[in-house]
Chains A and B, each alone.
Chain A
Amino acid sequence: MSIIQVKELSKVYGEGNSTVTALNGIDLSVEQGQFVAVMGPSGCGKSTLLHLIGGLDRPTSGSVWIEGKDISVMKDDNLTELRRRRMGFVFQFFNLIPVLNAKENAALPLILDGVKPETAYARAAEWLERNQMGDRLNHRPDQLSGGQQQRVAIARALVADPVMLLADEPTGNLDSKSSDEIAGLLRHAVSDWGRTVLMVTHDPRIAAYADRIVFLKDGRVVDDTLLDAGNADNSRLLKEKVNLL
């Protein structure tokens, strides 16, 4: 069973003469433990796709299935709970609460879910520790660099132990060194912490950290490539070179 499945998904905005078709009948499957990048020119529908998968918006037609459940027909309450428990979100502009410190920001999803503050803060501290932010638990966002803020945001996204992370241009607001670090952290979340990551990006360098790239254009999938494809080919090339030594 695919962890994310999208069937003939369409999203149309506006009415009459001013309709915009953001997504035009998309089919897509993501398996558990995959790191998928979604790319395409401005206006291709990639952010819309992410929002629909994350249940942050409803489709015009078609369906979105998360862990085998059709979320497009779910009631708001159930959808909110599913989102809070099974998904973690990472945004371009971090979206941290300025008056809360790192630990408090990271603990927020658990607090909102009714978890005891003690427990929530302990789990938040654990995730911040794993994200190399253990020595800045009491720092507020304005005392942190962009890369550090995004690490807090990723800890927040993981604190409820979700199966997947949905990231919308997670490095869009970072310099190239921090971008590489954050992309590496998302890679880590897949390879070492067993999550599934779906990431929208326009940056090829960052997309290269993924296992697979889905290319969108004008609301449609125009290509879908595995990045580690031809493992057999790769090992053949290597053997050839060894013989030449």
Chain B
Amino acid sequence: MSVRYALLGLLKQQPRYGYELRAAFIALAGGVEAWEVKPAQIYTTLNRMVESGLVEKQLNESDGSDEKVVFSLTPSGEAEFAGWLGQGILDDPQQDPFYLKLMLSLELPDVDAGRLIQTQRATLYQELHRITTVRTSLDPHTELARILLMDKAIMHLEADLRWLDMIEARLEDVKKQPAPHAELRPRGRPARTA
């Protein structure tokens, strides 16, 4: 979703060729390791915005490929971008794959929640180590912005690790409580097969 607004912002700076936009987005977002986006995704997003009147496509003597077409911002697109700038943004931390794993482990008798927690902890530490290594290699005089991005990743990993400690400490209590109840609306009986 944010990719589309970032493209609007880049076009607000100046009109650009299709192929430029992908490279500019990746540079803006902190490099391929930070935010991988396929060319198809960029062009699909651009074309949708052309359809909704946010972006204009200047058709030159191009061979029909979006790479060599110049895209530019419309007044609508500018207003849309301004709207995005003016609003706060929230991530959704509640859609958590590890939480699903944990809840499943409570339902399945042969899955050890303690082991799951330790495996997750090890994975988080490996990632923390990787990011710390990258961060140490960055030059604070020229790459401070990227360092700040690494710092965010580090802080989130620290928070995730603290959460694991918390789960571990309360695991026995969680296990004693009733499992979440699936709410089923009453429907007709399933048809009988002969």
A interface residues with partner B (beta carbon < 8 Å): 41, 184, 204-205, 207-210, 213, 215, 222-223, 225, 227-230, 234, 241, 244-245
Chain A residues in 8 Å Cβ range of B154 = 205, 208
In the bound complex, how far is the Cα of B121 from the Cα of A225, in angstroms?
10
Q: Do residues A223 and B122 form an inter-chain contact, with CB atoms below 8 A?
A: yes
The verdict on A222 contacting B118 (CB below 8 Å), with A205-B132, A208-B132 known, is yes
Indicate if B125 sits at the interface (CB-CB under 8 A): yes
Interface centre among A208, A223, A228, A241 (most CB of B within 10 A): A208
The verdict on A227 contacting B125 (CB below 8 Å), with A205-B132, A241-B36 known, is yes
A164: min CB distance to chain B, Å = 21
Q: Do residues A205 and B125 form an inter-chain contact, with CB atoms below 8 A?
A: no
A177: min CB distance to chain B, Å = 11
In the bound complex, how far is the Cα of B31 from the Cα of A241, in angstroms?
12
Q: Do residues A227 and B129 form an inter-chain contact, with CB atoms below 8 A?
A: yes
Q: Do residues A228 and B129 form an inter-chain contact, with CB atoms below 8 A?
A: yes
In the bound complex, how far is the Cα of B128 from the Cα of A210, in angstroms?
11
Chain B residues in 8 Å Cβ range of A241 = 32-33, 36
In the bound complex, how far is the Cα of B44 from the Cα of A137, in angstroms?
63
The proximity string for B residues 12-48 relative to A, scoring 1 for CB distances below 8 Å and 0 otherwise, is: 0000000000000000000011001010000000000
In the bound complex, how far is the Cα of B126 from the Cα of A12, in angstroms?
33
- Count B interface residues, CB 8 Å: 20
Interface centre among A209, A213, A225, A234 (most CB of B within 10 A): A225
Chain A residues in 8 Å Cβ range of B122 = 213, 223, 225
Q: Do residues B125 and A208 form an inter-chain contact, with CB atoms below 8 A?
A: yes
- Which among A184, A223, A227, A245 is the interface contact of B126 at CB below 8 angstroms? A227
In the bound complex, how far is the Cα of B123 from the Cα of A234, in angstroms?
13
Inter-chain contact total with CB atoms closer than 8 Å: 47
In the bound complex, how far is the Cα of B33 from the Cα of A241, in angstroms?
8
Chain B residues in 8 Å Cβ range of A244 = 36, 38
Q: Do residues A208 and B38 form an inter-chain contact, with CB atoms below 8 A?
A: no
In the bound complex, how far is the Cα of B122 from the Cα of A222, in angstroms?
11
B interface residues with partner A (beta carbon < 8 Å): 32-33, 36, 38, 118, 121-122, 125-126, 128-132, 136, 154, 157-158, 161, 165
Other A-B contacts than A184-B136, A229-B126, A241-B32, 16 sampled, CB-CB below 8 A, are A204-B128, A205-B128, A205-B158, A207-B125, A208-B129, A208-B154, A213-B122, A215-B121, A222-B118, A223-B121, A223-B122, A227-B129, A228-B129, A234-B130, A241-B36, A244-B36
In the bound complex, how far is the Cα of B154 from the Cα of A205, in angstroms?
7
A54: min CB distance to chain B, Å = 25
- In the complex formed, the residue of A with least CB distance to B22 is A245
Chain B residues in 8 Å Cβ range of A184 = 136
A208: min CB distance to chain B, Å = 4
In the bound complex, how far is the Cα of B129 from the Cα of A210, in angstroms?
8
- In the complex formed, the residue of B with least CB distance to A229 is B126
Chain A residues in 8 Å Cβ range of B121 = 215, 223
- In the complex formed, the residue of A with least CB distance to B158 is A204
A178: min CB distance to chain B, Å = 15
A220: min CB distance to chain B, Å = 13
In the bound complex, how far is the Cα of B121 from the Cα of A213, in angstroms?
11
In the bound complex, how far is the Cα of B33 from the Cα of A224, in angstroms?
28
- Which among B118, B157, B161 is the interface contact of A223 at CB below 8 angstroms? B118
B168: min CB distance to chain A, Å = 9
In the bound complex, how far is the Cα of B116 from the Cα of A110, in angstroms?
49
Interface centre among B125, B161, B165 (most CB of A within 10 A): B125
Chain B residues in 8 Å Cβ range of A227 = 125-126, 129
